[in-house]
A and B are shown apart, each in its own frame.
Chain A
Amino acid sequence: MTGWLSVALRSAGAVAELKKDKASGREPQAKKAAAEGEGEIWVVIEHEGADAAPVSWELVGEARALADELGVRAAAVIIGAGEQELARKAFSYGAAASYLAAGPKLGAYSADPHCQALAGLAARHKPQVILLGATTRGRDLASAAATELETGLTADCTELKIDPEKKLLLQTRPAFSGNVMATIITPKRQPQMATVRPGVFPAPEPVAGASGEIIASKPRLKPTNVSVKQLEFIRAPKDEVSLQGAKVIVAGGRGLKAARNFALLEELACELGGAVAASRAAVDAGWISSQRQVGQTGQTVRPVLYFAMGISGAVQHLAGMQASDIVVAVNNDPEAPIFEVADYGIVGDLFEVTPVLTEEVRRRKAEAGADGGLRIEKSARK
């Protein structure tokens, strides 16, 4: 739907109108601005300084597609210290406008000031849709803002569409731990809000030189008695990348035979930019921490790509991973039930197969002359 037209329009480079919304928050200007932004599709960019979470760009691409369908603008919302570079980056991914809300209390993320800023912007500019990544932070902010705006919020969407007649956003998401899919609408209130899982939509190709409108503002924050301060941050070691955020998971089971053999999986995971997980048998054997367990009594994961290495595929394990987009199973037993749910089955000794897979990834990377991991070009879901 994005189509060549939109790309062409964007690259044609409508001249950016750098506009300062000086007296933001005050009535007359607010009205004027509202006319400007009304009906837009917004994406709240999750960022740490100038680094944005990949899901944000995935969403900008999707917002653009939805906006084109509705004939409205897609816009990025950047709440922070005034990160101009992010505003511009948003244009390259398809946003026609960037709302840049800045202020001293907005530099580092904190639910209350950010919620106030977002709700304030939304109240003024009246977008019809606001999308956020379904990350720990995105969910945190979205829940607060939806409450403030007294509107509906659909969590963890895996599909977004526009109802051709009513022009409503059709928000599809798993419920009941993934046993059921539900399509949710917010028929009578605006904005319609949703959080979307990382990796559901492909990140669009950035278009160099794309431009758009930057709408800067300094939100006025109501003084409140609430406060949350960060005292410390401990970055997780690479192998501890949360399973929830991982796009690729390489999981091992009893077939791994010993703790040290998990190194094989780590290598593959590392090459693909993924995380290592395990079956309960491997956890019970003490080969890996219980925080890595996938399944009924462990975590439910939905990566784009799930490798099951030496895992038989007991229902309790399947309960935690069968919502993955693509499952690859390596098992030396051709009768293993895991093959019943695998998109690609490799019958063989994992000790032989895994290193060859890793090698193949390295070879392809070298060929492409880059260090990138796995890139998701389009939705892998069939």
Chain B
Amino acid sequence: MSINSLVCIKQVPDTTQVRIDPETGSLVRKGIPSVANPYDLYALETALSVRDQHGGFITALSMGPPQAEEVLRKALGYGVDRAVLLSDRAFAGADTLATTYALAAAVKKIASGRDAQTGASGIDIIFSGKQSIDGDTGQVGPGMARRLNFSQLTYVCSLIEIDVEARCVEAWRQREDGRELLQAKMPVAVTVTEQCSSIRYAALPDLITAAKKPVEVWSAADLDVDRERLGLRGSPTRVSKIFAPPARKRGETLTAPERSVAEVAALLFDRLAERGLKIGRRGG
């Protein structure tokens, strides 16, 4: 028995270069290089190592403009068996709810094996990144789990075992206060953190195979969906305003020739207290 998985990969702008045009107040995205969302590569590596161990098929799935094909091409280079891109104007402007609606519909189609190019039937695990670096929401992975009725495992920092017979996955999940070992029933949707292994160095034969492998591009018409629930129309949230974060300015230099270090320290905590950060007991 083998494990079939699906990896969600999003193409994102290199966010360190995204900024607001001070004149127009709009987002400058033009000319900014696109990359695969870094967390998704951890997801991809996790899927690859599961396949190394248990066999099975991996499908890479992305939704985005036509050039998002690049990230899927990259995934093929790592040896993914099949790559599907959802690209259609109808998908554009989707928030996370409309995104999971479209992605989940695609997963259903892939899992149904209706056009099982890979011979895969069913999807046992969906891997995605803990969040995308543009949206930063982390909502798509769990949203898909919900729509597809998959178990939900977020912030996984290491996937340790899959019991194929019992159809169970064991994984460590990162929390603020520690780590928990969870056992989830398959099918399961896993979102991974940067603590998972980084992506391998793809082997040359895989790249050669990938060079000629097609990326399938599906439009809304290829999916069993209600168009009203796609893209901007299907998105309950709206961006009402975007603006540049307040730029940091040089603040106050606390050191001065006449002040001792102890005085500087006292001054600092006085200043912090003025700004609402107090030390000691409540009300103190």
Contacts and interface: CB of A to CB of B under 8 A. Distances in A.
Touch between chains A and B, by CB atoms below 8 Å? yes
Contacts of A352: 261
Contact of B277 (A147, A175, A380): A380
A152 B283 CA distance: 38
Contacts of A231: 170, 181-183
Given A177-B16, A180-B19, A375 B240 contact: no
B107 to A, nearest CB: 14
A142 B20 CA distance: 29
A280 to B, nearest CB: 15
Interface in A122-157: 135-137, 139-140, 142-144, 146-148, 150-156
Given A146-B97, A152-B95, A368-B279, A184 B237 contact: yes
A360 B179 contact: no
A228 B151 contact: yes
30 contacts: A111-B145, A115-B146, A143-B146, A153-B96, A153-B97, A155-B137, A177-B16, A180-B19, A183-B241, A183-B243, A186-B238, A225-B185, A231-B182, A234-B178, A236-B179, A272-B279, A296-B16, A322-B248, A326-B272, A326-B275, A340-B250, A344-B254, A346-B255, A348-B261, A356-B261, A365-B279, A372-B280, A375-B282, A376-B276, A376-B277
Kindly name the residue among A152, A179, A184, A379 whose own CB sees the greatest number of chain B CB atoms within 10 A. Answer: A179
A71 interface: no
A177 B248 contact: no
Nearest to A177: B15
Interface in A185-214: 185-189, 202, 205
A375 B271 CA distance: 14
B139 A291 contact: no
Chain A interface size band reads 35 or more
Interface in A290-338: 291, 296, 304-305, 319, 322-323, 326-328
A4 interface: no
Interface stretch (A10-18, A59-67, A238-246): A238-246
Contact of A367 (B153, B243, B280): B280
A272 B269 CA distance: 12
A185 B195 contact: no
Contacts of B258: none
A235 interface: yes
A296 to B, nearest CB: 6
B261 A353 contact: yes
Interface of B: 13, 15-16, 18-20, 27, 95-97, 100, 133-143, 145-147, 149-155, 170, 173-185, 188, 195, 235-246, 248, 250-255, 261-262, 264-266, 268-269, 271-272, 275-284
B149 A224 contact: yes
Given A111-B152, A180-B27, A175 B235 contact: no
A176 B18 contact: yes
Contacts of A228: 151-153, 182-185
Contacts of B251: 327, 342-345
A236 B178 contact: yes
A380 B275 contact: yes
Given A179-B20, A205-B282, A296-B16, 10 more contacts: A115-B146, A137-B175, A152-B237, A173-B136, A180-B245, A232-B181, A305-B277, A322-B248, A368-B280, A380-B272
Contacts of A152: 95, 97, 235-237
A19 interface: no
Given A156-B136, A228-B184, A296-B16, A144 B142 contact: yes
B279 A375 contact: yes
Kindly name the residue among B173, B184, B262, B268 whose own CB sees the greatest number of chain A CB atoms within 10 A. Answer: B268
B277 A375 contact: yes
A136 B153 CA distance: 11
B187 to A, nearest CB: 8
A135 B179 CA distance: 14
B236 A189 contact: yes
Closest 3 CB pairs of A and B: A368-B280, A370-B281, A152-B236
A339 interface: yes
A182 interface: yes
Contacts of A376: 276-277
A234 B147 CA distance: 31
Contacts of A359: 262, 265
A369 interface: yes
Given A153-B237, A181-B242, A241-B176, A346 B264 contact: yes
Contacts of A202: 276
Contacts of A40: none
A357 B262 CA distance: 8
Contacts of B182: 228-231
B19 A360 contact: no
A137 B155 CA distance: 9
B27 to A, nearest CB: 6
A188 B236 contact: yes
B242 A346 contact: no
A170 interface: yes
Contacts of B142: 111, 139-140, 143-144, 147
Contacts of A226: 145, 149-152, 184-185, 188
Given A144-B142, A319-B16, A151 B236 contact: yes
Nearest to A359: B265
B137 to A, nearest CB: 4
Contacts of A153: 96-97, 137, 139, 237
Contacts of B277: 304-305, 326, 374-377, 380
B178 A233 contact: yes
B180 A179 contact: no
Contact of A175 (B135, B250, B265, B268): B135
Contacts of B134: 175-177
